[in-house]
Amino acid sequence: MSDSSTGLACGAPKYFVRRVLGVSLAAAFAGALIYVSMGQGNGLLWQFIAALFYSISIAVPSSILLNALSETAIAQRPWLSKAMVAAVLVVTATVGSLIAGLMMIAVGMLEPAHYWAQFARVISISMIITLTFGFSTSLYEGVRGRLEATRVELQTREAEQQKALKLLAEARLSSLESRIHPHFLFNTLNSIASLIPSDPARAEAMVGKLASLLRFSLNANQVSLAPLGQELKVVRDYLEIEKARFGARLDFSIEAPAELELAGVPPLSVQTLVENSVKHAIAPKPGGGSVRVTAGSRNGTVWVEVSDTGPGFSIEAAPVGHGLDNLTSRLKLLFGDEASLEAARVGGHAVVRMSAPRRNG
């Protein structure tokens, strides 16, 4: 039995009624057997009917009272649980036995003159049966309550996992859609076409980088974490493609320790940050700017920073369901409070830092 609730919360009314009837019948049968085995009464059937009066008179009020206490006093004072349950069972056994005697008089099963003598004969057995069935039921309901709580918790976790998978799929689809957006795709193809006459080798390399980027986007739905080394390769391919478009207007660098190549990050997460920099720091400015990607680790945490020469922004202001907001939600679902995405201005540069526990991708 759980001390915090006694395990007697009735749940649905139908279950409460079934439980009271089941306990009453079992207690009545047990009481009848005890009396017959002691050589008292007028046979098993008569004793069963008499015991049924007692069991119903005791089981109904004790169940109602214990249910009420489990939601109030016992829940607030766990250390009183067993003592309060025992007190309720003793009181209801006494009062229920008195009421059962009156009911038997009303139906002609007991002479009024024998009322107190009958009470004296049955009270000890009523106490034993009530305490036995009461605490047994409490123990059963406690286990049942814990199993139900575990089931609800597992369902909640499963729902959260499904939500995470859905959000991850949406994020990957959104990223894929942005990769093959007509403007990006057409600009890339135009850049490749312009390179073919003058620099066919570079044009061929650009085709390979575009294919690699699209392939990674398509394959990203297979995993929840990707190796940082692979992620940075995709970022480099993306920036090389944009470099062909913007020319000298785009300057970039990528620096990461070799030992972090296998560190896991959400697929296309760094690319999302870099794309945001190109969109807001490079494209709008006639003179372009620079984008710098760095990574490191400390105390079991891996961080990746993307800085640019743009105006900066607030993570909280990101449009719901897109880009950075989506990435924030993915980090939360994958790592909980251990991961973060922060934006700041440092030395005239807009900096976004993504941090997460170090895991292999």
36-40, 81-85, 137-141, 187-191: segment of lowest average pLDDT: 36-40
CATH number assigned to the domain covering 180-357: 3.30.565.10
Of the candidates 276, 240, 239, which has an alpha carbon nearest to the alpha carbon of residue 351? 276
Task: Name the DSSP class of 41.
Answer: S
Higher pLDDT, 49 or 280: 280
Q: Which residue(s) pair with 357 in the sheet?
A: 301
Say which amino acid occupies 44. Answer: L
Split at pLDDT 50, 70, 90, the class of 35 is low
Alpha-carbon distance 198 to 332, whole Å?
Answer: 48
Classify residue 337 as exposed, middle or buried by CB count within 10 Å of its CB (0-12, 13-18, 19+): exposed
Alpha-carbon distance 54 to 211, whole Å?
Answer: 82
pLDDT score for 199:
84
pLDDT score for 52:
73
Distance of CA 150 to the CA centre of its chain: 12
Split at pLDDT 50, 70, 90, the class of 341 is very high
In the chain, pLDDT over 90 holds for what percent of residues?
19
Read off the pTM: 0.51
Residue carrying structure tokens 């006459």: 197
pLDDT by residue (tens digit) across 101-160?
888 888 888 888 888 987 887 787 778 777 777 777 767 666 776 787 788 888 888 887
Q: Both ends of the chain: CA-CA distance in Å?
A: 44
Say which amino acid occupies 152. Answer: V
Q: Where in the chain is the domain with CATH 3.30.565.10?
A: 180-357
pLDDT by residue (tens digit) across 169-213?
666 555 544 544 555 667 678 778 888 888 888 888 888 888 887
Q: Strand 349-357 relative to strand 340-346: parallel, antiparallel, unpaired?
A: antiparallel
pLDDT score for 12:
52
Say which amino acid occupies 340. Answer: S
Alpha-carbon distance 146 to 227, whole Å?
Answer: 40
Q: For residue 19, what are its two tokens? A: 């439980």
